[in-house]
Chain A
Amino acid sequence: MRDAYLVGAAQTDFGAFPRESYRSLFSTAFEGAVDSVDGEFDRTEVDEAYVGTLGVGGRQLGLSGPAVTEFVGLDGASCTRVENACAASGTALRQATLAIRAGAADIAIAGGFEVMTDMSGDQTRYWLGVSGETEWERMSGTTFAGVYAQMADAHMAEHGTTREHLSRVAAKNHANGAKNPHAHLGFECSLEDAMNAPGVADPLNLYDCCPTSDGASVAILASEEAAEELTDTPIRVAGAGQASSRVGLFQRPTLTGIPATTDAAEQAYDEAGVEADDIDFAEVHDCFSIAELMAYEDLGFCEKGEAGPYITSGTTEPDGERPVNLSGGLKSKGHPIGATGGGQAVEVFKQLRGEAGDRQVSGLGRGLTHNVGGSGGAVAVHVFEEGWA
């Protein structure tokens, strides 16, 4: 099998940018990714482009892929828009990897964008709800926070997870995000403040929830032959896993985990020939605090039910054995739905190349990204390794 290499990656700032369009955001991310390539990158050589977006706001629902690739001079390249809710660009990343592995492309880009902050509150709540199970779950009156709150409720009852365990996710990720110049909410948040924030959907409060953001991300992937011309610091996509599950929580076999995460991780670990213990650091999908705790368990970082004690142990802090969400995660860095999975790859790219600035952790050789769509209907997990195969 041909290997795919990550040779460039960049993201815009995540935040609220009323003067930007979805196209200008994508352009900023794309040009940043081009600039991050060590060698001379010729954009006319892009064979395949995969662009993730949910299409929040409905602005360009049809042909939203070509609408951004034309803007950056990729006119003519094969372009596919990918929709997998919040896992859109993680899915795009896997599609680009598969295209290269299959020999259908030598150079492929995977990216995503979303504009979420320029709408009324009603519009935002409508669009946030479209990725839940619409006919039954949504009609029971729940929000996205509500579905994750139900998982938190069950996790607390079954495993003794506490208010403090949840808030430790917020405190850690804000501390990390405060060092990330691209972060939407780049400020620190004490454990006490996180625990005492106003309620949203019991047991989740405001600091258990990520913001909605504007932003874009782009990753450039290349075959080994093409990568040899483009980079001196190769980062190999060692494993690319993806799985789906029931869209509605009520139809899944468990309320306290995301089965598609376990399935996607198993594929990615198998491809990479590694186990969970071999992962040095990870960017996981912390759309809500409970989601990061469940990710620890579903990815195999700790035993089922042990996520609370695991975060309390400090293992996932920057100076711990396995830092998680060094970028600040969705919680602090922000969550522009279609750009999030690509943004996770940007952090892994920077950390593995030693380009993460104030938040750089030394000695990292293998990183994982975990991107969840909806409340677990789709999940993409990637394992990246420094060096040639």
Chain B
Amino acid sequence: MGAYLSVPSWWRNLDGRYRLELGQCPDCGAHTFPAEGACVECNSTADFETVEPEGTGEVVAGTTITGGAPPEFADLQTQEGSFGVAVVELDEGARVPGMLTDCDPTTVERGDRVEAVVRRIYEQEGIVRYGVKFRPMD
């Protein structure tokens, strides 16, 4: 039993899932991820300007999940072992949570540069959900 996100609720967020679309606040200029709700900087609810980021940034906090993974990621952990999860600060300023990929997660540290790549996230109700993970840059 994993966290339940219906297919429509995944679909309505695809701009965020695939391209990390950000919302730029017209009042203070800060970027918010995902591009909805109130501005993370000033709480303004004025309509965001949507911005597509470069998809690059740096790790500001990270962990390697070695104990029990959430059920929707249990198969991944069984097949590939411990995986890394980071909070990434994009170069535009917004922070995004994301899984690390294509690396040994224990070697990734705060301050490391990463880039967004689209990967399989998990499968629910027979439908594979894709979205962004982060890969260390050389």
Indicate whether B68 reaches chain A with its CB closer than 8 angstroms.
yes
Using Cβ atoms and an 8 Å threshold, which residues of chain B touch A121?
A: 68
Using Cβ atoms and an 8 Å threshold, which residues of chain A touch B11?
A: none
Using Cβ atoms and an 8 Å threshold, which residues of chain B touch A137?
A: 97
B63 touches A149 (CB 8 A): yes
Minimum CB distance partner of B1 in chain A: A126
Q: How many A-B residue pairs have CB under 8 A?
A: 119
Indicate whether A65 reaches chain B with its CB closer than 8 angstroms.
no
B66 touches A249 (CB 8 A): no
Indicate whether A141 reaches chain B with its CB closer than 8 angstroms.
yes
Indicate whether B127 reaches chain A with its CB closer than 8 angstroms.
no
Using Cβ atoms and an 8 Å threshold, which residues of chain A touch B66?
A: 198-202
Given A139-B121, A150-B61, A154-B61, A129 and B70 contact (CB-CB distance below 8 Å): yes
Indicate whether A347 reaches chain B with its CB closer than 8 angstroms.
no
Using Cβ atoms and an 8 Å threshold, which residues of chain B touch A139?
A: 3, 5, 121-122, 131
Q: Mark B91-110, 1 if CB is under 8 A from A, else 0.
A: 00001111100000010001
Q: Mark A197-232, 1 if CB is under 8 A from B, else 0.
A: 011111110100000000000000000000000000
B85 touches A126 (CB 8 A): no
Indicate whether A250 reaches chain B with its CB closer than 8 angstroms.
yes
Indicate whether A313 reaches chain B with its CB closer than 8 angstroms.
no
A136 touches B97 (CB 8 A): yes
Q: Mark B38-82, 1 if CB is under 8 A from A, else 0.
A: 001000000000000000000011111111111101101000000
Residue among B5, B34, B40, B67 having the largest count of chain A Cβ atoms under 10 Å: B67
A145 touches B67 (CB 8 A): yes
Tell me the smallest distance from the CB of B107 to a CB of chain A, in Å. 12
Minimum CB distance partner of A255 in chain B: B61
Please report the C-alpha to C-alpha distance between residue A139 and residue B72 in the assembled complex, in whole angstroms: 9
22 CB-based A-B contacts, threshold 8 Å? A122-B74, A125-B68, A125-B71, A126-B2, A136-B97, A140-B85, A141-B99, A143-B70, A145-B67, A150-B63, A150-B87, A198-B67, A199-B64, A200-B67, A204-B63, A206-B67, A246-B40, A248-B97, A249-B87, A250-B96, A251-B32, A253-B40
